[in-house]
Amino acid sequence: MIPEKAGKYDFEVGMYRPPSEGGSFSLLLRFTRNCPWNKCTFCGMYKHEKFSLRTVEEIKGDIDSIAGLINDMQSLSRELGHDKQIDRDTIIAMIEKEPQLNTSQGFGMVLNWLSSGGKTVFLQDGNSLMMASDKLVDVIAYLRSTFPSLERCTTYARSKTLSRKSLEELTGIRKAGLDRLHVGLETGDDALLKKIRKGVSGEEHIDGGRKAIKAGFQLSEYWMPGLGGKEDWENHARNTARVLNGINPHYIRSRPFSPWPGTPIHDEYEKGTLTLLSPGEVLIELKLLIETLDVTSKVCFDHAGNGWVNRYGQLLFTQSYEGYKFPEEKPRVLELIEEGIESQ
């Protein structure tokens, strides 16, 4: 269901964004609603929601609402003698003037974003590049001109969409001001990609990733340790490494698999047709992938799911968003994996 705009400060906010995109200090702007593919057997994020494109007018209206909110707070601050600083007194006065803001999710987000300097924005939902390229260029340029403090603009994208877009289209989108793409690779193994209904092949992953990099985007690729279970772990590791080598993205981010209740893959797990790897076995799979990687990427474990511990019970890997620089830190990662295997 498409929410109605009830007030001058209303704008849509989706649920999801990558942890690396500013934490709670990133502006979230909804360019599309939900996921256009929505068939992956492991994912429950948008399963009961219908995909829809938002119009250029709707998106620009949301941008204007946020800009209007900021301008009104700055004006109120000036009236209070605070020189446009949006401090505690200004916020309280603004809520007294506009009580509906007290329960607005978007209001708190904007305040956090401003407090961090208004530097990052994430375009929601699952695949913003489904928009027509000329419309996407239009709204990104409008966003950048409205908020000149922005230093980074990022979004989710699918490899299939990147593969289908022309290099000229992608380059135009990049030049308009979209900086980084987050792509769910999950696996590079074609049999497993088909099994999880990802809707893309390993070669399309490579083609889409290479094209994105050639267009000038910074690229984060996400893979799922453990996704193949005991049945397919080796092919999963080897072929995922092969595809990542073919792309050589800026970031490789680990998102260990856990069956999500209500998804088809969870049903497989309950029926016994998918046997989960133990934490130690996932590390053995990870070791094979890391050994096979030949990239200059940063390999990251920036998610709570990467919860392996060392002999002291501490987290095995740093959960820094910048991770480990390859190939320089590859030996260190392999050392940590060995320690983790011994500690599980």
Q: What is the pLDDT of residues 159-183, one digit of tens each?
A: 999 999 999 999 999 999 999 999 9
- Residue 54 DSSP class: P
Rounded mean pLDDT of 124-153? 95
Decide if 190 is inside a domain.
yes
Decide if 164 is inside a domain.
no
Q: With helix as H, strand as E and coil as C, how does 291-308 read?
A: HHCCCCCEEECCCCCCCC
Q: How many alpha carbons lie under 13 Å from residue 71 in its C-beta half-sphere?
A: 10
Decide if 167 is inside a domain.
no
Q: What is the pLDDT of residues 77-134, one digit of tens each?
A: 899 998 888 889 999 999 999 998 988 878 988 998 998 889 999 999 989 999 999 9
Asked if the model's pLDDT at residue 211 lies above 50, the reply is yes
Look at 133 and 24; give whichever has higher pLDDT: 133
Together in a domain, 147 and 194: no
Together in a domain, 143 and 285: no
Rounded mean pLDDT of 217-222? 98
Q: Which has the closest alpha carbon to 236: 271, 196, 207?
A: 196
Q: Which has the closest alpha carbon to 31: 148, 186, 138?
A: 138
Q: Which domain holds residue 237?
A: 181-344
Together in a domain, 104 and 5: yes
Decide if 207 is inside a domain.
yes
Look at 215 and 344; give whichever has higher pLDDT: 215
Residue 22's pLDDT is 63
Together in a domain, 17 and 75: yes
- Which residues share a beta bridge with 184? 222
Look at 18 and 308; give whichever has higher pLDDT: 308
Together in a domain, 91 and 34: yes
The b/e string for 163-195 (b: 16+ C-beta within 10 A; e otherwise) is bebeeebbbbbbebbbbbbbbbbbbbbbebbeb
Residue 1's pLDDT is 45
Together in a domain, 81 and 150: yes
Decide if 337 is inside a domain.
yes
Contact 32, 130 (CB under 8 A): yes
CATH number at residue 304: 3.30.750.200
Decide if 104 is inside a domain.
yes
Question: At 14, is the pLDDT very low, low, confident or very high (cuts 50, 70, 90)?
Answer: confident
Domain-ending residue, one of 157, 173, 197: 157
Decide if 171 is inside a domain.
no
Q: What is the pLDDT of residues 231-288, one digit of tens each?
A: 999 999 999 999 999 999 999 999 999 999 999 999 999 999 999 999 999 999 999 9
Rounded CA gap, 99 and 93, in Å? 10
Asked if the model's pLDDT at residue 5 lies above 70, the reply is no
Together in a domain, 76 and 20: yes
Rounded mean pLDDT of 125-149? 96
Would you give the distance in Å from CA 240 to the centre of its chain? 19
Together in a domain, 305 and 260: yes
Asked if the model's pLDDT at residue 2 lies above 50, the reply is no
Number of domains in the chain: 2
Question: At 23, is the pLDDT very low, low, confident or very high (cuts 50, 70, 90)?
Answer: low
Together in a domain, 189 and 140: no
φ and ψ at 53, to 5 degrees?
A: -85, 140
Together in a domain, 343 and 195: yes
* pTM of structure: 0.92
Decide if 166 is inside a domain.
no
Together in a domain, 196 and 100: no
Q: What is the pLDDT of residues 282-315, one digit of tens each?
A: 999 999 999 999 999 999 999 889 999 999 999 9
Together in a domain, 319 and 191: yes
The residues, ordered by sequence, that sit 6+ positions from 316 with a Cβ below 8 Å of its Cβ are 306, 308, 309, 310, 336, 337, 339, 340, 343
Rounded mean pLDDT of 322-332? 98
